[in-house]
Every structure is written in C-alpha cells, then in structure tokens.
Chains A and B, each alone.
Chain A
Amino acid sequence: MIAPGTAQGIRTRTEREAVSAGLSVNVWRRVSQLVYDGVGIAVAVVMLFPIYWMVITAFKPGRDILTLQPKWFPAPFTLDNFKDAIARPFFLDDVRNSVIVVAVMLALALVVAFLAAVGTARFGFRGRTAFLVMIIGVQMVPLNALIIPLYMLLDSAGQIDALPGVIAIYLAVVLPFMIWTLRGFVANIPVELEESAMIDGCTRVGAFFRITFPLVGPGLVATAIFGFIQAWNEYIIAYVLLSSPNNQTLTVWLASFTTNHGPEWGPLMAAATLTGLPVVAFFLLLQRYLAGGLTAGAVKG
C-alpha cells in the first residue's frame, strides 16, 4: 500500500493524469486540425469562386445565364460564347498586339536587366549605391501619376497610338524589379566557379557564358514571369496611348466590350477567360523552373 504524499504515490497520480490529459489533448488536436483545414478550404473556395463563376458562365448557353435561379454547373454545355467573342471586331488584331508588346518588351527587358544585374552584382564602382537606390525609389512612383507627361512625351515623338511607345513604358516599369531580382541570382553564384573555369582555359567571357549564364536561368524565368504578367495585364497606359481599336491591346478590348455592346455576359465571360488564360498557362508551364530556382539558391551554401 502506498500512502498518498510519498514519492511513489505522487508519481502514479501524475502519470494517470498525464495519460488522460494526453488523450484529451489528442482529441482536441484532431478537432482543431479539422477546423483549420475546414477554414482553409473555405478560404480557397471564396478566393476561387469568382474565377469559377466566370468560366462556367462562359460555357453556358444564353438562356441559362439570364435566369433568376442561377445554375451552378454548365449543364447544357456550349462553346457559342467563345465563338462569339472571337468573332467580335478587332479581337484577333488586339491579341496580336498584346503578343507583340509582351514578347518585344520581355526580350529587351531580359537583356537590359541582365546586363545591369551583372554590373551591380559582379563589379564595385562609384555610383553603384546611387543606382540601386534609384532602382528601389522609382518603384514607389505610381504610374497613374505619370500618364500626362508620358502622353506628351510620346506625342512630341509622334508615338501616340503606336506600339513602340507602350513597349518602352512597360520596359521601364518592369526593369527595376527585374534588375533587383536578377542581381540577387547573379550574386548567389560564387565567382570561384568562373575563376576555376578560367584556370581550366576558359576566357573570361567564355567562363561567364558557360558557367554563370546557365545558373542564372531560373532567375531569368522568374523575372520573365513577372514581366509577362505585368505587361499582359496592364490597362491604363494602353487605354490612354492606343486610341484606334486595331492598335489596342487585349485588356483595352476587353474593357470596351460592355460599353460598346451592352452587357452580354456570356461572350464577355468567354472573352475574359481567353484573356486570363495565357497568364495562367505561362505560369503553370514555367512553374517548375521557378521551384528549381529556389532550390538552386539553397544548394550553393
């Protein structure tokens, strides 16, 4: 018999309590895990619902869109809205314009940003800090405020209603972020790798292009995705600078959809789906390179 209060007695009692407490902690943990997961799923549903609603509206026939009792699934399924949207005037022109603007801008931006990234990551020079401060500073200036002088600047250069002006502005908008990000990637690659290649007989330029350039690949992809999204989604600059319908970009076309034709929700949602699709596709295609870029940074150590 063990008297309560002795060392042994205390131990058994605390053990017993610990077991029951452990059980309830376990149940409690399970319940709270379920609650957390439930709230998480609810958040995902709320965030995704508008996009879901756009896509299924795009696939519904007209009579199922304009109903007082909304249909949650596109039960009779149709592609008519997409055919209608594509057949609208200037759709194909404006797709072409968007592609040209984004492609030319990205090609230029990657080259220009890469040069500056190497310059600031690999070399010390007077004015480097000033340059980096400028890179951060200009990102704080709202583009909306600069529309008037940009309009006048391009007006005096005869570049209103022409794609080059828009390309130049987008280039300036995405450059600071791209330089900053790429600089980080270049700085993460040890110079010793290049130096050992030079000892093995590479020229300085050769070492750079054979060693550093491939390693910066994921960084180039990451910044390209950023630039693509920025330029493809931009609206106000294109709206102000490109006045004739066959010179506009896809977002301007999409925004003018309702005002020109009244709200025809089916074709509008189809057009919106088509406008959003390239960004999502581009992102998903290149996402694995993005993940690779993150691990590449970690391995280096």
Chain B
Amino acid sequence: MGLAITAPDQGPALYSRLRRRLFPYALITPSVAVIGGILAFPLGMLIWISLQHYGLRELINHQGEWVGLGNYQKILVDPLFHAVIVRSLAFTFTCVSLTVALSTLIALLLLKVRRAVRVLVMSALVFVWATPVVVTVDIWQWMFDYEFGIINYLLTQLHLGNFIHHNWFDNPVQGFAVIVAIVVWYSIPFVTITLFAALLQMPSDVEDAARVDGAGSWRRFWYITAPILKPIFLIVICLSTIWNFGIFNQIYILLNQRPSSDYFTIAIYSYRESFGVTQYGLGAAIAVVMVIVLVIVTLFYVRETVKVAEIS
C-alpha cells in the first residue's frame, strides 16, 4: 500500500535528487576545466616534451622524436648547467634569508612605532607591492646607470670609494648584488604585511607572562613569538623560494634581454635553450628539474606544517 503511494513520486524525486547532487559539480566544472587545461595538462606535456628531441622542425610538424632520458643525460654532464643550478640555489638562499630577516625586523618595528608612522610605512609597502616588476626593474636600471645613476653619485659622495663611471654589471658578483637588492626590495612588502598581520593576531597573554617572568625581548621573540609564527614563516619562506628560484623578469629585463651566460639562472637557461636556440626538449628537461627542486622544497614545507599541526 505504502509502496503504491510513493511509487508515482519516485521518478521526479529521484530526478531532483540527482540534480541536487550534480549541482555542486556543475559549479566547479568551469574552474576544473580552466585550471586542468591550462596548468595541469601542460605540466604533463612538459614532462612528455622533455623526453623527446624537439627542435624547430619538430615544432612545425607537431611531432617530436623520442629520446628517453637523453635530454637529462645531456644537461647532467653540462658544466654550464651545474653552474646554473649552484647559482640559482645560492641566489635563492641569499634572497630568501635577506627578505625574511628584514621583513621580520620591519614587522616587529611596526608594532612599536606610533600610528602615523605605521600608516606611512604600510602605504610605502603597498606602493612598492603594486608597482609592476618591469617598472621596478627600469627604475633600478636607471638608478644604477654607470654614467648618471644616483647610486654611483651617492656612494662617491659618501666617500665609500670612487664609483664614477662604475659599471655594476661588468662583474657578475656585483651584478648579482644589484639583482638581489631589487628582488629583496620588491619582496619585502608581501612578506612584511603577512608577518605583521600574523603578529597582530598573536595572543598577548603568553608574551606578557614571559615578560613578568623576566624574559628579555630577544628571548621573548626567540622562544615565544617565533614558534607561534612558525606556520606563517614556513608559508612565506616556501613561497619566496618558489618565486626566487624561478627568477626571470628582473635579470632578463635588467640586462636588456641579452644576459650573458654568467647571469643565467635556471629559468633563463631553460628559456634560452628553448626559445633562443630552439631546443625545446632540452629546455623542457631543465624546466622539469626546476619543478622537481621546488617540489622537494614544497614537500619539506608540507611535512613541517603537518608536524606543527600535530603539536598544537
């Protein structure tokens, strides 16, 4: 009897239940299509191309020639590639440590300054953050101009040496010092604002207790603030590592789109191999190595985050 009553309703009810269950999938389908098609699929394609000989002829025919791990073997014995890897790692380490150290100091300083100064510093940070990379590189190129640059003038005026007509890019070490300055200056706003936001949300009672117990400011930072902020530090370090290891724009534009091999970092090397000398397969293999290094860094970060989550 009950069955007879519910039976006629079964069709539409089932239909509307099905529709309700499919509705959220309909909502995420466009994003999955875009992200999958334009980020995930090319990532797979990158690996595929890296296993082939893929030059200009292959590009025109849309058909590569399978070489297995040949491209990887080639780059692994290439001394230039070794130099590039070491340079990229050293560059990343320098930039990330300088950025995080300076940003932490500025974020802590922001807690101490009066309101007006805080607004001033925050506005300055936002201004720098919103400026396009290409614009910032042009500015710094002008400031470091060998003939009329303000930096050479200031350094000479401050009696730090004779910097008249000093070309910073003749010597790669000095050139990289300039690039590190540009990158750190441009990275500070994001890291500082993130750390400052985290500091504001920190419970003050633990720190107060430590203060009552007589802990100095350095100890309070090291034993209380830093551990509480550890997850934020990990995120910031991880993201900075990803951005700096794949550095391209600053170096490429600063050196007028013709960097010498002394200035190759991994992204520039990969770009040169593929679009400069049309060895797309080799370029792809270099890019895969770049992704692998970053995955290792990211995995370390994920593991540390999980650890932190387990403790708290």
Contact = CB atoms under 8 A, between A and B. Distances in A.
B71 interface: no
B27 A40 contact: no
A254 B134 contact: yes
Interface in B128-162: 128, 130-143, 145, 147-148, 150, 153
Given A142-B267, A272-B139, A279-B130, A65 B148 contact: yes
Given A40-B109, A120-B28, A149-B284, A141 B43 contact: yes
Listed residue (B23, B39, B287) with the most chain A CB atoms within 10 angstroms of its CB: B39
B260 interface: no
A194 to B, nearest CB: 15
B24 A125 contact: yes
B75 interface: no
Given A50-B136, A51-B128, A125-B24, A113 B31 contact: yes
A172 B34 contact: yes
B62 A280 contact: no
Interface stretch (B119-127, B171-179, B201-209): B119-127
A265 interface: yes
Identify whether the interface residues of A are mostly helix, strand, loop, or mixed.
helix
Interface stretch (B4-12, B93-101, B218-226, B269-277): B269-277
Interface string A16-41: 00000000000000001100110111
A106 interface: no
Given A67-B148, A272-B138, A47 B185 contact: yes
Given A40-B113, A116-B31, A153-B42, A48 B128 contact: yes
B294 A142 contact: yes
B31 A112 contact: yes
A69 B253 CA distance: 27
B127 A48 contact: yes
- Most B CB atoms within 10 A — which of A33, A39, A68, A141? A141
Nearest to A124: B24
A37 B30 CA distance: 50
A269 B142 contact: yes
A134 B110 CA distance: 35
B86 interface: no
B40 interface: yes
A90 interface: no
Interface string B255-292: 01100000000010011001100001001100110110
A285 interface: no
A259 B256 contact: yes
A273 B131 CA distance: 9
A77 interface: no
A1 interface: no
A73 interface: no
A91 interface: no
A173 to B, nearest CB: 8
B34 A47 contact: no
A142 B127 contact: no
B228 interface: no
Most buried by B among A40, A66, A70, A229: A40
A125 B29 CA distance: 13
A232 interface: yes
Q: How large is the interface on B (under 10, 10 to 19, 20 to 34, 35 or more residues)?
A: 35 or more
Interface in A254-300: 254-259, 263, 265, 268-269, 272-273, 275-276, 279-280, 283
B59 A115 contact: no
B253 to A, nearest CB: 5
Given A36-B112, A275-B134, A283-B126, A119 B24 contact: yes
B27 A115 contact: yes
Contacts of A232: 132
Given A144-B267, A155-B59, A169-B38, A116 B30 contact: yes
Given A67-B148, A251-B132, A148 B284 contact: yes
A254 B133 CA distance: 11
B257 A259 contact: yes
Interface stretch (A7-15, A212-220, A233-241): A233-241
Contacts of B21: 125
Given A134-B35, A148-B274, A171-B34, A53 B150 contact: yes
Interface of B: 21, 23-28, 30-32, 34-35, 37-43, 45-46, 49, 59, 62, 106, 109-110, 112-114, 117-118, 120-121, 123-128, 130-143, 145, 147-148, 150, 153, 164, 185, 188-189, 238, 242-243, 245-246, 248-249, 252-253, 256-257, 267, 270-271, 274-275, 280, 283-284, 287-288, 290-291, 294-295, 298
30 contacts: A41-B117, A44-B121, A47-B128, A54-B135, A54-B139, A68-B148, A70-B150, A116-B31, A134-B40, A142-B246, A142-B267, A145-B291, A146-B42, A146-B46, A149-B42, A151-B275, A153-B42, A155-B59, A171-B38, A175-B35, A232-B132, A235-B253, A236-B249, A254-B132, A254-B135, A254-B138, A272-B138, A273-B135, A279-B130, A279-B132
